Structure 1
Amino acid sequence: MEEFEASASAKKTKTIYISTVISIAMVLLMVGLLGLILVHARKLSNYVKENIVLNVYVDDVAKETDIFQLQKQLGVNPQIKQTQYVPKEIAARNLQKDLGEDAIKFLGYNVLPSSIDIYMKAEYANNANITKLKAQLLKNPLVKEVRYQESMVDMMNKNIYSISIVVLSFAGIFLIVSIALINNTISLAIYSQRFLIKSMQLVGATKSFIRWPFVGFALLHGLLGGFIAIILLVGLLYLGYREIPDLVLLKNYTEFGIIFLGIIGLGMFISGFSTFLAVNKFLRLKLYDLYR
């Protein structure tokens, strides 16, 4: 009879631990998904900003060597990510592709000027910096005109800022909810062990002797939950990249590694700390309080 009860108790404890690990893994999976969304949103924002084109049209009489020299000067500007020289012949071909007709053949000559396309770094891709750069460029005698979509840049930065605030607020709320869920799950698991905790205390075991095995198992559960969450995240990433191939452009293994380590660290910390608090709670209770 005693062996049966011991076996039933061990099976119940094992079931509780498994459910705790799964619960931790599911919560960490949601945290990891949110982290990946934040990383991809930031990289997508930077990608869009760094693809804003500032067209610098040069004078028709400008020599190509002078244009290359101007391009070289622009290339060392810390605000500029890259530049691209577009001769008037290539500009004409590009226009023909866009229109589907040969405008040069219709007009009889090439009216398009040569240009240097400038792509700004993400942190400088705003109207204030671009306006300053535009004013500097117009002082150069080689530059005839500078164009860019000012309204689009302004609207894009405002929208990105608003979306960032919303996403970060949601991330903060979700993190608090996740911590509360893991804490409640672990508290329930420790509650089922309250009589064991009190029995050990009554036979003379010290608080630290009772506490640390529970905390050790909690750290292990957090580690296992983190690994399970990471495996699921990798699977979701694989499916995402297969369905949307362009997402590969936003891939960054360093950032993914930081998120995965953060998931494991968060799982172990919350699990261990929640267990520490829960065990301390039952260590402080009187024997008759365990039945309430």
Structure 2
Amino acid sequence: RKSLLKIPGVDSVKFVSKYDALQKFQKEFGENIIDILGENPLQSSFRIRLKKSFHTRVRVQKIMGQIKKLSGVEDVTYRYDLLKIIEKYLKIFFGIGISLGAIIAFISLLLISNTVRMAIVSRSEEIKVMRLLGATPQFIRRPFLVQGFYLGVFGGILSLFLLLVVIWAARHELSLQILNAREIFGFVMGWGIILGVLGSWRAIGKYLKEEI
């Protein structure tokens, strides 16, 4: 048991005696195999639970290889069919996530562009005065880029909240291990800021071209 617990990825190890295995068999199938065979053919075993981050086929097979090398181990079995189903749904999950992410990014870009454009229109007279005074396009862009930055941060926070809900559901309801909050925080916030600034740049650039 101690040797099994030392293997990276193993979360817990439970010993199942021949008697316990027999009791479980009789409970599930309703038959007393001792009456049929005259003895208990079931073997004592260890039931191993892996950490959630190791619920992938490659990692499970690696752990199986390490267990087989231990002395006294006759055989190692695991639910390959169940793991295959989990991996299949993970691929579907990520495919849907990428598609939704692309759609949300496109919509966010349009919304930010329109929001900043409305702000530009409301300050059009001020912008005209700034241009008459010799303000450069870069100087005029600056406050709107800052606004886009904060809009991007706000959008990133909303997206992060939605992703955390999905991650929580995947872990607690489906027992799936996907990226944790620390891994996705920088990515989501970074893209939110990029989209915010890009949307603002697009809006102010289009306005300045129309005014030339």
Counterpart in the other structure of 1:86: 16
Percentage of pairs with the same residue: 24
Counterpart in the other structure of 2:92: 163
TM-score, length basis structure 1: 0.50
Superposed, which structure 2 residues align to 1:42-53 within 5 Å? none
Q: 2: CA distance between counterparts of 1:144 and 1:245?
A: 33
Match of 2:2 among 63, 72, 81: 72
Q: Root-mean-square deviation (CA), in Å?
A: 4.6
Unaligned ranges ≥5, structure 1: 1-70, 288-292
Q: 1: CA distance between counterparts of 2:150 and 2:94?
A: 35
1:278 counterpart = 2:211: no
Unaligned ranges ≥5, structure 2: none
TM-superposed CA distance for 1:134, in Å, is 7.1
Match of 1:210 among 136, 140, 156: 140
Q: Do the aligned partners of 1:194 and 1:282 also contact (CA within 8 Å) in 2?
A: no
- Which amino acid in structure 1 is aligned with residue 55 of structure 2? A
Cα distance per residue 1:3-27 (max 9 Å; x no partner):
xxxxxxxxxxxxxxxxxxxxxxxxx
Superposed, which structure 2 residues align to 1:212-227 within 5 Å? 212-226=142-156
SS of the aligned residue for 2:173 comes to: helix
Superposed, which structure 2 residues align to 1:55-66 within 5 Å? none
SS of the aligned residue for 1:118 comes to: strand
Q: Do the aligned partners of 1:215 and 1:272 also contact (CA within 8 Å) in 2?
A: yes
Q: Do the aligned partners of 2:145 and 2:200 also contact (CA within 8 Å) in 1?
A: yes
Q: 2: CA distance between counterparts of 1:210 and 1:73?
A: 67
Q: Do the aligned partners of 1:222 and 1:267 also contact (CA within 8 Å) in 2?
A: yes
TM-superposed CA distance for 1:105, in Å, is 7.2
Count, aligned residues: 206
Change (3 A) 1:219 1:180: closer
Change (3 A) 1:95 1:111: same
Counterpart in the other structure of 1:36: none
TM-score, length basis structure 2: 0.64
Give 1 or 2 for the bigger CA radius of gyration.
Answer: 1
TM-superposed CA distance for 1:91, in Å, is 1.5
